[in-house]
Chain A
Amino acid sequence: MATLELSINEDVAITPVRRARRLGPLFWAAAVWTIFILLLAAFAGALPLPSPTDMDMLERRMAPSGLHWLGTDGLGRDELSRLIYGAQISLTVGLCAPVIGVTIGGALGMLAGYFRGRFESLVVGSMDVLLAFPPLVLALAVTAYLGQSLLNLTCILGVLGIPAFMRVARAATLTLARREFVIAAEALGATHARILFRELLPNVFLPLLAFFLLGVAVTIVVEGALSFLGLGVPPPISSWGSMIGEGRESLEVAPRLAFIPAVTMFLTVLSFNLIGDTLRALTDPRQGAL
């Protein structure tokens, strides 16, 4: 017990110092970019943008101009407008799917890590089954049967994220459940619900949040891949993936059409990865862990 207490004190003492050192300019650049994209997507309707679906066959693949800041795509639609409305789709799926994952996976993981026993074996076992499917293959198969829609896509990607969140929550809970404050709460006669919500949840929250951000990055990529293959959201709605897919057709004439959404997507994914990784490093007491 004495050694445990010592190590806790150390953690508390070390954390603020590392926090100050780790948040470099890259982290802030990533945060600014993320907020910028989120705001653009949220207020897309209020921006003075041309319609993302109006075609103009006379102005196909136009170079950037005052009217069309990023030019027009292969069907004469405004590229900037499609990019911003595409951000809406990519970010909606990218944020909502991990919310499903973190809620269900986090709850299952905490319950499994706290109650142990049969329930834990069952949860871990069924997650292994879900993990047995290559995620993209499962997502492809399910969208093929269920049909392509924003809701279906979000749900599938959300379910696919559950095992990973479950593992993170369970691992964190397993170590926390043996700490003194939990034992003390038990000794004071706290109910299971109280221990889970008041003692464990605040401590599991930060690792889960860090993992959530990494999950957002992964989900944006998977959604992009599905839309790229034409199996994501149905046209004419644009998402970054489908824009890149359409841009591939005119790679020789107008590579811009594939590269603009590609760079936007890369920067967004990189930003979420950077923020998530920074948070993970902050919450991970093992120094230098991969």
Chain B
Amino acid sequence: MRSAVETTSPRFGEAGHWGKEVRSDVHVAFEARDSGGVEISLESRVSPYYGSAILEQTREVLGELGVKHARVAIHDEGALPFVIAARIEAAAGRAGVALGKTSLPKHVPLPAPSPKDRLRRSRLYLPGSEPKYYINASLHAPDAIILDLEDSVHRGEKDAARILVRNTLRAVDFGSCERMVRINQLPLGLEDLAEVVGQSPDLILIPKTEEPEQVREVDRMIGEIKARHGVVRPIWIMPIIESALGIENAFAVATASENVAALTIGLEDYTADLGVVKTAEGRESQYARARLVNAARAAGVQAIDSVFTDVADMDGLSRWGEASRAAGFEGMGCIHPGQIRVVHEAFQPTADEIARAREVVAAFEEAQSKGLAVVSLGSKMIDPPVVQRALKLVERAKAMGVIS
């Protein structure tokens, strides 16, 4: 039972951002009350066009949250409806009301489920507290977008970001991009899962993975939530290895669940763990990256590289990407849309490689049609692994749009 002081003092919560520099976000100040109904004030840079729509939406959201008495002050900077809903819900939650209740925005159709070994050359990081980046992210055509709840979100903003990311997965059309979410380290990450898994993300990244048990725990949790929400499409897992111990356990991590689709590496934390300086050439992480590629391939999953942090250095990015592909990685992270094209070019097979692979594939098809078990090209016999590799390369090149 609450004390008298608690019930009469205002219960206050706020969420979101406003100000001259802010775009596409909204700030909601929520004061829970015990009587007097709902009182809403609105200031918005788009009020001539959407003022009444925002007020109407606010009343709807409050209704769904079961809020009957409150004062809500809204400063809107052109936020889209899914952001407005998320901010109101977060502010109410922080005021200590409507806990356990949600207000979900309209659903856009889900993209086709993601194949386990789909093309993952690039994943564009979108901070979980910056809604302005979401709506146009797919225009830059990365293979994946990644809604980040971990490092790009301030510790005090995790609850609000979680709600925003949940709404984003539901309401934003990311086109043909794979929709990834990076959760927080466990156990905080489990709370993230509870919020987002119901909205069918295609893949979950687990940061600071060191032990297979961490993967199994996440996998179990995803399975439970999927069952509860009736989600049947796959949700893949990409553990991020970011420590010396993680590298030692890479194979065990990669094989911890059949839902692991790829392994990736976080070089900032890894080099910190080693106590070495991270350089642009990356010699200090050569062993770890080679070990990770080997573990991933041994487990039959993709190896995906870290990010390149200097967004102005496109030549450096290009060199990094080419070296990365040569080392066996199939993609890397992007922290700016401008990096995507360079990364795609770096991870694209060369014209020579494609021509050679097509010759092999043609020879293989000819052998098939003649019912021959042995594939030969000119005077040389082609081993089955070479054929397999050529088939995969041609298929990938098609997916990349390099050949038709």
Is chain B a partner of chain A in the same complex?
no
> A: which residues have CB within 8 A of B?
none
